[in-house]
Amino acid sequence: MMKIPLYPDYSMTIMLLKIIVGMPIADFKNMWNTIWGLRGTPQNTVDWTNPDEWIDQRLLGKDKEIANKIWQRSNKNVNPRWTRGCQFLISGYNLISEDNGTYQLTDAGKDFVSNPTSDIVKKIDMEEGLIQILRQLSLIERGKRADLLVEWGEYTKYHSNIKQDSVRKDYLRRRLANLVDRKYVKRNGVTYCITDKGLNYLQSAEDTNSNPTINKENRLNRDIELFNKEQRILLKKFLSETTPYRFENIIKDLLSAMGYDDVKVTSPTNDKGVDVTGISQNGITTVKEVIQVKRNTNSNVTRPVLDALRGCLHRFDAFQGTIITLSDFAKGAKDAAFEKGAAPLTLINGDKLVDLLIKNNIGIIPKIANYYLVDEKYFEEEENTD
């Protein structure tokens, strides 16, 4: 059952644990209560971003000493004001104990600090949904947070007391940041993908899970993942082996499925480098667009191809263009696509094309496999409120 809000990075939590071991409990709590009392108001906000400034300005005596100790000994990585999530995690999983008025690491705390793949770390990751996130990313390979939300919502429904969508999204965002910090997940802009390190850790965590139902479900999901990867490879193979004319018509079907209007394949004898045309909706404006397709997988598309497409936009009364290839784009071509003052060009490589075909059910037959899990939460005894 997930119970930790403001989910922290483990690296920050470990640094805080090492610093407060042996520290008088009263000193730390007094410092924290002092800081927490300095919240400010909506009209007079308090800036906490730079501890080098606010510690000296707002704290005195022992409070100032403890805050500086945390800030300096963490090499200025742990802001004393932003340790609430660390404290939730530490207390929620009994990583520290109170012994004769000072903090001491428990056995679980020692394992957490010393071993990033210890049983306590796996237990926390399992209960707090991080293994679920890794599992989702392993199945979709890469995606935005929005791509994870539906299944994440179903998971949190049965493994937390979260009611609000905004809280559910925040739980996901913070846990993804934790996995990125541990290099189990890589972030590129707004897109996330699981790393090899993350896959190995996921396998290790699932292998040590004692729940036989979850283990069977994990094996089922891995089998589906493997099958879908094989189908992606097969789809790309069929695309590379089809005729140029059939390939252009596949792109026509894709654009129609994506909502383009008046999609046409141009005449092969007078296409001027343009293979497909269509009209897209851009806000409240309809825009004529030209598309050039490159079925060749042997070499990347270079900048001259983009320059040539831009040069013929006016012949089709088009405002923008798209180049679709089964291969990829050279760096010069990628840079030219965003050239200031030039007509906008969208570049779609082979992997993105396969993604779009699958998303829009072009060249594939979507299958739904229904399976059922007993809702253990449903059978829990409700408290008698009479």
Amino acid at 122: K
Question: Does residue 22 have a pLDDT over 90?
Answer: yes
Is the CB of residue 202 less than 8 Å from the CB of residue 135?
yes
Place of tokens 């004001």: 81
pTM of the full structure:
0.67
d(C-alpha 265, C-alpha 245), whole Å: 9
Q: pLDDT: is 221 or 4 the higher one?
A: 4
CB 278 within 8 A of CB 263: yes
Cα(126)–Cα(90) distance, integer angstroms: 16
171/166 Cα distance (integer angstroms): 9
Q: What confidence tens digit (pLDDT) does each residue in 250-262 have?
A: 999 999 999 999 9
Of 166, 170, 200, the closest CA to residue 183 belongs to: 200
The residue among 60 and 222 whose pLDDT is bigger is: 60
**What is the predicted pLDDT for the residue at 119?**
94
Model pLDDT for residues 140-152, shown as the tens digit of each residue: 878 899 999 988 9
* Mean pLDDT (whole number) for 361-366: 93
Tokens describing residue 55 = 């510690």
| Max mean pLDDT range (99-103, 208-212, 218-222, 294-298) | 99-103
Pairing of strands 191-194, 185-188: antiparallel
Cα 202 from Cα 196, distance rounded (Å): 10
Q: What is the pLDDT of residue 371?
A: 81
> Judging by DSSP bridges, how do beta strands 345-348 and 320-325 pair with one another?
parallel
Give 153 or 374, the one with higher predicted confidence: 153
Query: Residue 319 has what pLDDT?
Result: 85
Q: What angle (nearest 5°) sits at the alpha carbon of residue 89, between those of residues 116 and 136?
A: 65
Query: What tokens appear for 100 in the block?
Result: 């004769």
- The rounded distance, in Å, linking the Cα atoms of 75 and 71 is 7
pLDDT over 60 (residue 382): yes
Report the pLDDT averaged over residues 198-222: 79
Per-residue pLDDT of 114-132, as tens digits, reads 999 999 999 999 999 999 9
> What percent of the chain shows pLDDT beyond 70?
95
Model confidence band, residue 272 (pLDDT cutoffs 50, 70, 90): low
Work out the end-to-end distance of the chain between its first and last CA atoms, rounded to an integer number of angstroms: 27
Q: What is the pLDDT of residues 331-351, one digit of tens each?
A: 999 988 888 888 889 999 999
Q: Give the full edge-to-edge strand order of the sheet including 261-265.
A: 261-265, 276-282, 285-294, 320-325, 345-348
pLDDT tens digits along 33-63: 999 888 777 777 889 999 999 999 999 999 9
Question: Per residue in 238-251, pLDDT tens?
Answer: 999 999 889 999 99
For residue 202, give the 3-state DSSP assignment. Answer: helix
∠ at Cα 42 (38, 45), nearest 5°? 50
**Does residue 70 register a pLDDT over 70?**
yes
Mean pLDDT value across the chain: 90
* CA 186 to the chain's CA centroid: 8
Kindly tell me if the per-residue pLDDT of 267 is higher than 80.
no
Q: What percent of the chain has pLDDT over 90?
A: 64
Please report the pLDDT score of residue 188 as a whole number. 94
